[in-house]
Structure 1
Amino acid sequence: MGGLLTFEVEHEELKETVRKMVTTAGSAVDQKLRLIDALQHLGVSYHFESEIEDELLNMSSTTDLLSDSNDLNSIAIWFRLLRQQGLHASADIFGKFKEGEGNFKVSLASDVPSLLSLYEACFLAIPGEDILDQALAFATQHLGSYASSNYSGNKIMNPNLVEEVRFALLRPIRKRLPRLEARRYIDTFNMDDHQSSKENSASLLRFAQLDFNIVQRLHQEELREIQQ
């Protein structure tokens, strides 16, 4: 029992640490976007609903800050998170990634993480947004090539990224069960993929692990009570 109490105390302490990570003023927009995205994947965003809503409300007015950015990854995450929250985000922001002929830039095909973010963003499209229909076709084509065996001899191929792409093509974020996604993401969480410090990334992962185990234990207790 003492060990369980220790875990719960650690969980509460880490929750406050993560809360400060979410609300810290002055953090770069791209860092905050990736943090919120990670919290959702890890299944712990429900602890910080009001804080995340406030941050995304602030970000909904940062189009001007992103207008000069060529970081497709950040822009696609920004777009998806805002639309998931029910906030306005114009699909026109992706126009900068198209060439004069109206097609998406071929150079984007080699930026797999950004393509993956663009692909996921497209599932938040509303009818009539042709640019997102084009983006989905473009991203799906090139992600499919990356995930295929045709890339088996590519020295720059990242095995973890290949698996992530294959999983996304099979089941995009919008079609995943939150608890299963949390379990999968905890297992595949790579601290090197996040722009926060190693210490912050480690705290985030540890908090997610503890939270998952606590919630799982509560579900098991509820199940035992039902069966009695």
Structure 2
Amino acid sequence: MQRLGVAYHFVNEIETSIQNIFYAFQQNDDNLYVVSLRFRLVRQQGHYMSSDVFKQFTNQDGKFKETLTNDVQGLLSLYEASHLRVRDEEILEEALTFTTTHLESIVSNLCNNSLKVEVTEALKQPIRMTLPRVGARKYISIYEINDAHNHLLLKFAKLDFNVLQKFHQRELSELTRWWKDLDFANKYPYARDRLVEYCSFGY
């Protein structure tokens, strides 16, 4: 729901879910995808979770196990999680290097089209560095070609995106009229006349 851009409708429910994940986290879970996803969601929500949860996936020398390269979804999830690292978290620095190298080497050979597109987009711009509304527009297209997508949720995301887009267009139209009435560009020629750039519209 967060990536589809509809999370703002479910703020309380999401916070409750994140709290449950945080307190029920199992240190011995050996599923890289699940551990990485939980880690990213908890940190993304502003809670701290130790990066030590990833030690089980490393060898004694601190390097990630090569067997993990067979788990593309796990690699992608770890890649996204590594972008929420803080200073001196060497294990996440290693995770970023490890996942980037392997994802770049396998992306062109992926048979699953939705996963291939998702990996390609992530390598260009990870979730952490993507503007929410721009990311939602991209992810709606990726989610749509995923055979396991929820039809109702996808329809809701599309409708919500279009409603918000129309709202922002009306708002921009009203602001533009107000801006022209001020005659700001002529009164203050030394200032930048870039109204649209000043409007973030929730991005």
Q: TM-score, normalised by structure 2?
A: 0.81
Measure the CA separation in 1 of the matches of 2:46 and 2:129: 18
- Which ranges in structure 2 are unaligned for 5 or more consecutive residues? 178-203
Question: Are 2:87 and 1:127 equivalent residues in the alignment?
Answer: yes
Equivalent residue for 1:88, pick from 48, 57, 65: 48
Which of 172, 181, 184 is the aligned partner of 1:223?
Answer: 172
Instruction: Specify the alignment match of 2:147 in structure 1.
Output: 192
C-alpha separation in 1, matches of 2:43 and 2:148: 24
Tell me, what secondary structure is at the counterpart of 1:125? coil
Q: Deviations over 1:117-158 (max 9, x none)?
A: 10010011111111111111111110110125xx3xxxx632
Counterpart Cα distance in 1 of 2:51 and 2:100: 18
2:29 matched to 1:41?
no
Could you tell me how far apart the structure 2 residues matched to 1:116 and 1:74 are?
Answer: 11
Whether the 8 Å CA contact 2:62–2:91 is kept in 1: the answer is no
In 2, Cα distance between the equivalents of 1:145 and 1:160?
17
Residue 163 (structure 1) shift: 2.5
Deviation at 1:175, TM superposition (A): 1.1
Q: Which runs of 5+ in 1 are unaligned?
A: 1-38, 195-200
Q: What CA distance in whole angstroms lies between the structure 2 residues aligned with 1:47 and 1:129?
A: 34
Aligned to 1:140: 100
Change (3 A) 1:172 1:192: same
1:1-228 alignment to 2 at 5 Å?
A: 39-63=1-25, 66-148=26-108, 151=109, 157-189=111-143, 190-193=145-148, 201-228=150-177
The percentage of counterpart residues that share the same residue type is 45
C-alpha distance in structure 2 between counterparts of 1:216 and 1:146, whole Å: 36
Q: CA RMSD in A?
A: 1.6
- The structure-2 alpha-carbon separation of the partners of 1:191 and 1:160, relative to structure 1 and needing over 3 Å to count, comes to closer
Q: With structure 1 as the length reference, what TM-score do the two structures score?
A: 0.72
Report if the CA contact (8 A) 1:104-1:135 is conserved. Answer: yes
How many residues are matched?
176
Q: Distance in 1 between matches of 2:120 and 2:157?
A: 24
Structure 1 position 94, deviation (Å): 0.5
Whether contact under 8 Å (2:114, 2:146) holds in the other structure is no
Q: Which structure is higher in RCO with an 8 Å CA cutoff and minimum separation 6?
A: 1
Higher normalized helix content (fraction of residues): 1
8 Å Cα contact 1:97/1:105 also seen in 2: yes
Larger radius of gyration: 2
Letter in 1 for 2:118: E
| Bigger mean CA offset, 49-58 vs 94-103 | 94-103
Matched-pair contact (CA < 8 Å) for 1:125–1:132: yes
What's the offset of the Cα at 1:84?
0.9
Distance 1:130 1:220 in 2: 45
Whole-angstrom distance in 2 between the partners of 1:145 and 1:225: 49
8 Å CA contact 1:191, 1:202 repeated in 2: no
1:36-60 C-alpha deviation (Å, 9 max, x unpaired) = xxx1110110111121111111211
